[in-house]
């Protein structure tokens, strides 16, 4: 997605500046100590972040990232503008009734923070710092524009007057990058052990898609042995048992997945399917419900 700030109409720039200048932040939950990071093989980077109700200055965000140690990894930093652009995960729009616009909204990043805007390390010739704004242009892309005011002699002083959230990144080493590619994970992980467990779950997914349910069961069980308490592993075990017609074991494992993660939608839907299969089996009938997809 291109940097769109220089193409935004002057009236929109003034409105955004007014909103930001007031430091009116959307209410976001505090997460001062991240415990998970997002491995992103598409960019070769890993991501983490900190969001606070009132944000932090550019220098504070820079210091925060460079001093961060997470999951056994150091060497974190603020992302460049283009890196922050590429890491956008999905939007959550909340309208600001005071201004009647959607510019005061959340933008969720792969680092695990939902923020109205975040700092980047990219500076202009006049030493303005880029931020990523959670407003959308007509095409649905996030808006980028220069942080107003500071010149090279007043960077520290001027940036101190403005606040945003800290999104941190670091490059993945070759072996870690390969593991992330093998895992094809689309969630944040707390450690390398969990990431390796997702490698096994990816093998289970491939086997499941090929109709090799004994193999998908075995690989999901291996993942659970590597990382006990991993809800997706219980889900994979549950749906594999279901496809093998072992409905009691399917229900038990899917219920366990939901006990671990009550908001696990795939587990909720699969549990309904497994219970229908369980009831159909008692009547010596084939289940009517559509079997779960592992995507």
- Domains located in the chain, CATH noted: 5-171 (no CATH), 191-282 (1.25.40.10)
Span 204-243, pLDDT tens digits: 999 999 999 999 999 999 999 999 999 999 999 999 999 9
Provide the pLDDT for residue 35. 86
How far, in Å, are 164, 168, 194, 211, 271 from residue 61 at the CA level? 8, 9, 28, 49, 43
CB–CB of 120/80 below 8 Å? yes
Neighbours of 278 (CB within 10 A): 16
DSSP string over 161-223: T--BBEEEEEEPPHHHHHHHHHHT--S-BSSHHHHHHHHHHHHHHHHHHTT-HHHHHHHHHHH
Which residue has tokens 């500071």?
Answer: 150
Helix (H) or strand (E) holding 242: helix 231-243
pLDDT tens digits for 227-283?
999 999 999 999 999 999 999 999 999 999 999 999 999 999 999 999 999 999 998
For the segment 46-101, what is each residue's pLDDT rounded down to a tens digit? 998 877 777 788 888 899 999 999 888 999 999 887 787 766 654 444 444 444 44
Query: Residue 193 contacts by C-beta under 8 Å, 6 or more apart in sequence?
Result: 226, 227
* Contact (CB, 8 A) for 64 and 127: no
Contact between 20 and 103 under an 8 Å Cβ cutoff? The reply is no
Candidates 98, 95, 20, 12; CA nearest to 54 is: 20
- Choose between 48 and 102: higher pLDDT: 48
Structure tokens at 108: 């969720």
Predicted confidence at residue 132, as pLDDT, reads 65
DSSP symbol at 24: -
Q: Alpha-carbon distance 166 to 12, whole Å?
A: 25
pLDDT > 90 in the chain, percent: 46
pLDDT given for residue 21 in this prediction:
39
The pLDDT of residue 151 is 40
Tokens of 167: 């999104």
The pLDDT value recorded for residue 109 is: 74
User: Which of 98, 140, 91 has its CA nearest to residue 117?
Assistant: 91
Cα angle 1, 10, 136 (rounded to 5 degrees) comes to 35
pLDDT of residue 13: 37
């Amino acid at each position: 997605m291109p940097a769109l700030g220089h193409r935004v109409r002057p009236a929109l720039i003034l409105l955004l500046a007014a909103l930001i200048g007031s430091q009116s932040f959307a209410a976001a939950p505090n997460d001062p100590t991240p415990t998970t990071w997002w491995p992103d093989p598409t960019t070769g980077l890993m991501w983490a972040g900190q969001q606070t109700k009132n944000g932090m200055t550019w220098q504070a965000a820079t210091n925060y990232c460079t001093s961060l140690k997470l999951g056994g990894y150091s060497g974190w930093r603020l992302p460049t503008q283009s890196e922050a652009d590429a890491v956008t995960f999905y939007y959550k729009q909340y309208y600001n009734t005071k201004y009647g616009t959607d510019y005061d909204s959340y933008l969720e990043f792969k680092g695990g923070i939902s923020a109205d805007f975040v700092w980047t390390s990219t500076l202009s010739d006049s030493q303005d710092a880029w931020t990523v704004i959670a407003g959308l242009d007509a095409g649905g892309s996030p808006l980028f524009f220069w942080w107003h005011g500071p010149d090279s002699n007043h960077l520290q002083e001027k940036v101190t007057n403005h606040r945003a959230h800290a999104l941190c990144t670091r490059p993945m080493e070759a072996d870690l990058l390969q593991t992330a590619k093998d895992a094809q994970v689309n969630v944040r992980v707390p450690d390398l052990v969990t990431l390796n467990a997702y490698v096994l779950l990816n093998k289970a997914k491939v086997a499941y898609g090929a109709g090799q349910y004994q193999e998908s069961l075995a690989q999901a069980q291996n993942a659970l042995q590597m990382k006990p308490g991993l809800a997706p592993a219980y889900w994979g075990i549950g749906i594999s048992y279901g496809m093998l017609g072992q409905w009691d074991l399917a229900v038990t494992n899917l219920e366990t997945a939901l006990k671990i993660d009550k908001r696990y939608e795939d587990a909720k839907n699969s549990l309904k399917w497994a219970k229908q299969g369980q009831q159909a089996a008692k009547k010596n009938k084939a289940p009517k419900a559509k079997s779960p997809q592992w995507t």
